[in-house]
Chain A
Amino acid sequence: MATETHCPYCSLQCGMRLTGRRVPEVSAWEEFPVNAGALCRKGWAAAGLYGGRERLTSPLVRDRATGEWAAVSWDDALDRVAAGIRAAQAEKGPDGVAVFGGGGLTNEKAYALGKLARVALGTSQIDYNGRWCMSSAASAGIRAFGLDRGLPFPLADVEETDVLVLVGSNLAETMPPAARHLDRLRARGGRVVVIDPRRTPTADRADLVLQPVPGTDLALALGLLHLLVAAGAVDEDYLAARTTGWAQVKESVAPWWPERVERVTGIEAAQVRELAAVLAGSPRVMVLTARGAEQHSTGSDTVLAWINVALALGMVGTRGAGYGCLTGQGNGQGGREHGQKADQLPGYRRIDDPAARAHVAGVWGVDPDSLPGPGRSAYELLDACGTDDGPSAMLVLGSNIVVSAPNATQVTARLEALDLLVVCDVVMSETAAIADVVLPVTQWAEETGTMTNLEGRVVLRQEAITPPSGVRSDLEVIAAIAERLGSTATFATDPEEVFAELGRASAGGPADYSTITYDRIREEGGVFWGGERLFASSFNHPDGRARMLTVEHRGAAEVPDDDYPVHLTTGRVLAQYQSGAQTRRVRDLPDDGPFVELHPLLAGRLGLATGEAVQVSTRRGTMTASARVVTTIRPDTVFVPFHWVGANRLTNDALDPASRMPEFKVCAARLAAVGRG
């Protein structure tokens, strides 16, 4: 009998069917609306996560003196974890222990993890890798609309627009089944615009491709708005009825004429004009941003600038138009709604809001005053590890920090400075490898839980196969730690029970799950929180209006100079996912290792050919990989995929002041052909 579930990877959460009890077999689930049976090779090969010899099935502890691992019983491992937590908190108080979660965790786990931190550990020091994913878009969405939901409409609405502008998204590689919507849109006569320093496979399907200097998407948006104002193409009636702040925004774009935009962005003024004309002449325009626009120290302002374009055109809230963010991680959306973010409580509530604290404390059966306040953001938390003011113990779930954190050499050193690092994982990831205690947990098809996809659609991943003996679910681990620490609050281990509690905790919050049940999800093909389409008649600020906020181009935190003369940007490849802890171990997925993509002009300057080794250096680190010479990238920019150790040793830890997003997508780098200096 087949089990209906969802792919273990990206935010599309493609539906699929699984059969078999030990190693599942994947088949299409054509009735599920988001992907209608289509899958990319990661999805088809998902069963390769099972049956591998690298699967951890026993808790392990590492002897720091010898570096040797020893298998121990669950009781011994959990005792060691509890003792370490007590020691850290005895020395440094509640905040002596930190929790680091992930955007791939189910809603139930994200919720339980937040509760563990706030109730059983009493620590404010919790954040997660989703901070490095969509936090800039989330921050911008909350400020502009009063609400953050990646897409405020179903993904299929893309097909109904007239112009789709993809800013920093390579969805044809990162979420391939979504690219089918582009083809259907174009077959209908709609146009696709791609803005990316690389001419990606997504750009191959576009009618207009603009290749800006990394870190200048904001200036491009200002320039477009300038031209829309100049052409009288803004929707003044909409602006007057549904927004505030337009007068200031309008004035702020007056100095962004196309030739100035050209000098900043490296995009020819004629192309800026062309795009503006396309936008001005189209009844429906949809702007979608992704990591390329968002993973910057100016990421949230960049998103606000593009939101302003969509608002000025009067598009937000119109069907087949508007603004959305293409979330990255599997549960990027749900992961930020239920309390594993430093400043939030379940239901997307603010932890510094007294009413929110009272409500959630009521559900948890604790005194509101016992809940800690907001803690450090992800990078700041990691950077504080093992310092005098920072935590000395940390619990990690669903994250491979050593590969995925920016300025990774520094972060790894901080993790190594902890007195206790506990990692829950399915394999010995690069982060688990430096832990003191590794707890083997269930994964994907072995467990049940909900995910909230990029559309805000809550879907159900169902247990399809039997987990190997020796592993426990994350929920069981959380409950066991809470119990050992003597917590009086209850920590359920049944996912459906946890989901019901999550529903109560989120009730009345911005992301209210209280009416969603597993049965409804099964019956309705997923359930949208807040409704299928948002903002049709009002926004979520008290006055119902969207905020147009004035933003200025500041540029990247680090720009090329004589020592580091090129821009470095990072991203994904189709066959790998995130830090690769899963996909690099799937035999059917090609793993050619990292590479350095560069233009023939730059390759010629360095005397490099495809396949030759090239060393990339930044002020923070160095990596060596083989060169891939392509005409599709800007000649002043190089690209390195981030699925392998190395890329993030190079990246910049400059943070966005609003979202605390690190600047993954641009820094200054130097290249050298290996062996030739």
Chain B
Amino acid sequence: MAERVVVVGGGMAAVRLAEQLVGADVRLTVLADEPHAPYNRILLSAVLEGTHSADALTLRSPEWFAAQGFDLRLGARVLELDRDTREVVLVDGERIAYDRLVLACGSIPTLPPIRGLVRRDGTLHPKVHPFRSLADCRRLDKSVVEVRAQRASKPSRAVVVGGGLLGLQVARALSVRGVLTEVVEGADHLLAGQVGPAAGGVLARDLRRLGTEVYTGARAVRMTDDGVQLDNGALLPTDLVVLTAGGRPSTALARRAGLMVGRGIVVDSTLTSVTDDRVHAIGDCAEHRRRTTGFVPPAWEQAEVLARVLRGEEAAYDGLRSVARLRATGLEVAVLGDPRTAEGEVVEVTNPIAGSHRRLVVHGGRIVAAALVGDLSRVGLITQLYDRGTILGPDEPGQLLLPEAADAPTTLPDEAEVCACAGVSAGEIRACGTVAECVDRTRATTGCGGCADAVRRLVGEVGPVRVPVG
């Protein structure tokens, strides 16, 4: 009898798990609390920006789940986990039995302690927008349109609370939409969760250059109809406030069910709860080796490992490598691992004039962490070397951060081959008076034709000829 696997959550980790369980001998039920088909949450800021159409976010349609024989329940809110009877209890009272329970509940945004954020009736101030779900994104998008219409010729304004990856993406998205945007970050620099002050400083400069003011080391303390009041006394008049700061793993169900919970639901390397071996947790709600993550790549890696575990295969999650990338027009950030705390030698190039900061942390010849801000040249290669754990030579980390040498134009030596098709050297071409004579005597230029310019210069005017690369 196939095991009944019940997944609480319909986010990106849950979908990845379902994909990896196609064809497996399990009966899968996915309980998604949002009403839409599972979608790609990390592209919400791109939807806001207008570079990604919202209807192309769907990761897997209900039809796909049905075709796999999976039971997808949209809008299914879970009330309780009953570990004694091995059942999940929905708010409408339905009980769903499981053999294996997977908690993929994600995280929930926390409201910062700003007075006036929540009105007396418990609703949010109408200018305030959390930014977590597709519904949040649509509501904010609508507000942007409305505010801009109301404002007519005058610029509309927004304050983004939180200077993390999401905050910066939303700030850029609003800015690209023509909204004057300001970012408020409580830490002393932007992206404090991922990078150090130098990188954060470069980012702040970049943002200012792009027209977005940045307040770091400043907390929003009060929300009024006039705007957002900061603890340094400044008042930021605004039409919109977007909350991107603070999210915490969604652990309430697990806690109530008596599972061990730290910051997240504590799991071992097989993504199994340390309290109950029939319960698993993946994604933002899981805590592995005292760490929770807020990114898709580790969540997917966990989903892939758990799928193998559920199939009865040997698999373990080591949680070693993660790559976080900022997706926003005009801002370039890649964070590999944890460059603030990783142990190793640091190779760093900061160019505040050009607006770049790049830091590699190297241990035993391997790149164990990196922060690249403002200049992503070679990010693809550096990520490969990081992911593969390639052991580099002593000069390589430094060279990786230097600009690639341009091939300088030089005069071709006589023996250099100019026409590869016919095998003709520069000297043989120089010995000809005209291109026609050269064609006649050597057949240069008659194959692929790529050397025609070089031949013209060699027979005609004196002047430098670029050495063909390679």
CB of A631 within 8 A of CB of B469, answer yes
Instruction: Please name the residue on chain B nearest to A565 by beta carbon.
Output: B390
Q: Which single member of B376, B443, B448 contacts A179 (CB below 8 Å)?
A: B448
Q: Which residues of A contact B422 (CB under 8 A)?
A: 40-41, 44
A269 to B328: give the CA distance in the assembly, Å. 11
Q: Which residues of A contact B469 (CB under 8 A)?
A: 199, 204, 630-632
CB of A230 within 8 A of CB of B390, answer no
A95 to B297: give the CA distance in the assembly, Å. 51
Q: Known A255-B59, A561-B388, A632-B469; judge A201-B450 contact (CB<8 A).
A: yes
| 16 sample A-B contacts, Cβ–Cβ < 8 Å, listed by A number | A39-B446, A177-B448, A179-B450, A200-B470, A201-B450, A230-B51, A230-B53, A231-B52, A254-B58, A257-B43, A258-B327, A259-B327, A266-B384, A565-B390, A574-B420, A601-B400
Q: Known A262-B379, A560-B388, A631-B407; judge A172-B40 contact (CB<8 A).
A: no
**A173: Cβ under 8 A from any B Cβ:** yes
**B123: Cβ under 8 A from any A Cβ:** no
**A38: Cβ under 8 A from any B Cβ:** yes
**B57: Cβ under 8 A from any A Cβ:** yes
Q: Which residues of B contact A183 (CB under 8 A)?
A: 449-450
Q: Count residues on chain B whose CB falls below 8 Å from chain A CBs.
A: 56
Q: Which residues of B contact A40 (CB under 8 A)?
A: 421-422, 447-448
CB of A574 within 8 A of CB of B421, answer yes
**A515: Cβ under 8 A from any B Cβ:** no
CB of B325 within 8 A of CB of A632, answer no
**A229: Cβ under 8 A from any B Cβ:** yes
CB of B423 within 8 A of CB of A248, answer no
CB of B420 within 8 A of CB of A201, answer yes
- Nearest chain A CB to B240 CB, angstrom units: 24
16 more A-B residue pairs beyond the given contacts A260-B297, A601-B399, with a C-beta to C-beta distance below 8 A? A40-B422, A41-B447, A199-B469, A204-B469, A205-B450, A230-B53, A232-B56, A247-B61, A248-B64, A251-B64, A265-B380, A268-B379, A574-B421, A575-B423, A605-B396, A636-B390
Instruction: Please name the residue on chain B nearest to A271 by beta carbon.
Output: B380
**B389: Cβ under 8 A from any A Cβ:** yes
**A338: Cβ under 8 A from any B Cβ:** no
CB of A229 within 8 A of CB of B383, answer no
**A165: Cβ under 8 A from any B Cβ:** no
A373 to B218: give the CA distance in the assembly, Å. 77
CB of A631 within 8 A of CB of B53, answer no
CB of A254 within 8 A of CB of B57, answer yes
Q: Which residues of A contact B64 (CB under 8 A)?
A: 248, 251
Which chain A residues numbered 156 to 205 have a C-beta less than 8 Å away from chain B? 172-173, 176-180, 183, 199-201, 204-205
**B381: Cβ under 8 A from any A Cβ:** yes
Instruction: Please name the residue on chain B nearest to A574 by beta carbon.
Output: B420
CB of A231 within 8 A of CB of B53, answer yes
Q: Which residues of B contact A172 (CB under 8 A)?
A: 448, 450
CB of B450 within 8 A of CB of A204, answer yes
Q: Which residues of B contact A560 (CB under 8 A)?
A: 388, 390
**B391: Cβ under 8 A from any A Cβ:** yes
- Nearest chain A CB to B400 CB, angstrom units: 7
**B393: Cβ under 8 A from any A Cβ:** yes
Q: Which single member of B60, B327, B389 contacts A257 (CB below 8 Å)?
A: B327
- Nearest chain B CB to A639 CB, angstrom units: 10
Prevailing SS type, chain B contact patch: loop
Instruction: Please name the residue on chain A nearest to B395 by beta carbon.
Output: A604
- Nearest chain A CB to B17 CB, angstrom units: 13
Which chain A residues numbered 589 to 625 have a C-beta less than 8 Å away from chain B? 589-590, 601, 604-606
**B392: Cβ under 8 A from any A Cβ:** yes
- A interface vs B, CB < 8 Å? 37-41, 44, 172-173, 176-180, 183, 199-201, 204-205, 213, 226, 229-232, 247-248, 250-251, 254-255, 257-260, 262-263, 265-270, 559-562, 565, 574-575, 588-590, 601, 604-606, 630-632, 634-636
A384 to B63: give the CA distance in the assembly, Å. 44
**B33: Cβ under 8 A from any A Cβ:** no
A590 to B389: give the CA distance in the assembly, Å. 40
CB of A255 within 8 A of CB of B40, answer yes
**B187: Cβ under 8 A from any A Cβ:** no
Query: Per-residue 0/1 for B256-288: is the Cβ within 8 Å of any A Cβ (1 yes, 0 no)?
Result: 000000000000000000000000000000000
CB of A262 within 8 A of CB of B380, answer yes
CB of A176 within 8 A of CB of B396, answer no
Query: Per-residue 0/1 for B287-318: is the Cβ within 8 Å of any A Cβ (1 yes, 0 no)?
Result: 00000000001000000000000000000000
CB of B421 within 8 A of CB of A176, answer yes
CB of B396 within 8 A of CB of A230, answer no
**B405: Cβ under 8 A from any A Cβ:** yes
**B198: Cβ under 8 A from any A Cβ:** no
A560 to B385: give the CA distance in the assembly, Å. 10
- Nearest chain A CB to B303 CB, angstrom units: 11
Which chain B residues numbered 116 to 134 have a C-beta less than 8 Å away from chain A? none
Q: Which single member of A173, A177, A231, A266 contacts B51 (CB below 8 Å)?
A: A231
Instruction: Please name the residue on chain B nearest to A636 by beta carbon.
Output: B384
A255 to B446: give the CA distance in the assembly, Å. 47
Q: Known A231-B51, A259-B325, A562-B391; judge A251-B448 contact (CB<8 A).
A: no
CB of B450 within 8 A of CB of A631, answer no
Q: Which single member of A38, A248, A574 contacts B449 (CB below 8 Å)?
A: A38
Instruction: Please name the residue on chain A nearest to B420 by beta carbon.
Output: A574
A247 to B46: give the CA distance in the assembly, Å. 22
Which chain B residues numbered 21 to 79 have a C-beta less than 8 Å away from chain A? 39-40, 42-43, 46, 51-53, 56-61, 63-64
- Nearest chain A CB to B462 CB, angstrom units: 23
Q: Which residues of A contact B60 (CB under 8 A)?
A: 251, 254
Q: Known A179-B448, A259-B327; judge A604-B393 contact (CB<8 A).
A: yes
CB of A559 within 8 A of CB of B388, answer yes
Q: Known A204-B450, A257-B42; judge A268-B53 contact (CB<8 A).
A: no
A226 to B51: give the CA distance in the assembly, Å. 12
- Nearest chain A CB to B436 CB, angstrom units: 15
Instruction: Please name the residue on chain A nearest to B423 by beta carbon.
Output: A41
CB of A263 within 8 A of CB of B53, answer no
Q: Which residues of A contact B46 (CB under 8 A)?
A: 230, 257
CB of B423 within 8 A of CB of A590, answer yes
A605 to B365: give the CA distance in the assembly, Å. 11
Q: Which single member of B379, B384, B443 contacts A44 (CB below 8 Å)?
A: B443
- Nearest chain A CB to B320 CB, angstrom units: 14
Which chain B residues numbered 435 to 466 have a C-beta less than 8 Å away from chain A? 443, 446-450
A589 to B57: give the CA distance in the assembly, Å. 55
A632 to B377: give the CA distance in the assembly, Å. 16
A176 to B58: give the CA distance in the assembly, Å. 45
- Nearest chain B CB to A297 CB, angstrom units: 19
Q: Which residues of B contact A565 (CB under 8 A)?
A: 388, 390-391
Q: Which residues of A contact B421 (CB under 8 A)?
A: 39-41, 176, 574
CB of B389 within 8 A of CB of A562, answer yes
Which chain B residues numbered 402 to 426 have a C-beta less than 8 Å away from chain A? 404-405, 407, 420-423
Q: Which residues of A contact B58 (CB under 8 A)?
A: 251, 254
Query: Per-residue 0/1 for B213-241: is the Cβ within 8 Å of any A Cβ (1 yes, 0 no)?
Result: 00000000000000000000000000000
CB of B396 within 8 A of CB of A173, answer no
Instruction: Please name the residue on chain B nearest to A42 by beta carbon.
Output: B421
Q: Which single member of A250, A258, A263, A634 contacts B56 (CB below 8 Å)?
A: A250
CB of A263 within 8 A of CB of B297, answer yes
A433 to B63: give the CA distance in the assembly, Å. 60
A636 to B380: give the CA distance in the assembly, Å. 11
A232 to B323: give the CA distance in the assembly, Å. 28
Q: Which residues of B contact A39 (CB under 8 A)?
A: 421, 446-447
**B87: Cβ under 8 A from any A Cβ:** no
Q: Which residues of B contact A229 (CB under 8 A)?
A: 53, 56
A501 to B100: give the CA distance in the assembly, Å. 65
- Nearest chain B CB to A621 CB, angstrom units: 22
Q: Which residues of A contact B383 (CB under 8 A)?
A: 262-263, 266
Instruction: Please name the residue on chain A nearest to B388 by beta carbon.
Output: A560
CB of B468 within 8 A of CB of A268, answer no
Which chain B residues numbered 367 to 381 have a C-beta less than 8 Å away from chain A? 376-377, 379-381
Instruction: Please name the residue on chain B nearest to A559 by beta carbon.
Output: B388
CB of A269 within 8 A of CB of B325, answer yes
A314 to B325: give the CA distance in the assembly, Å. 32
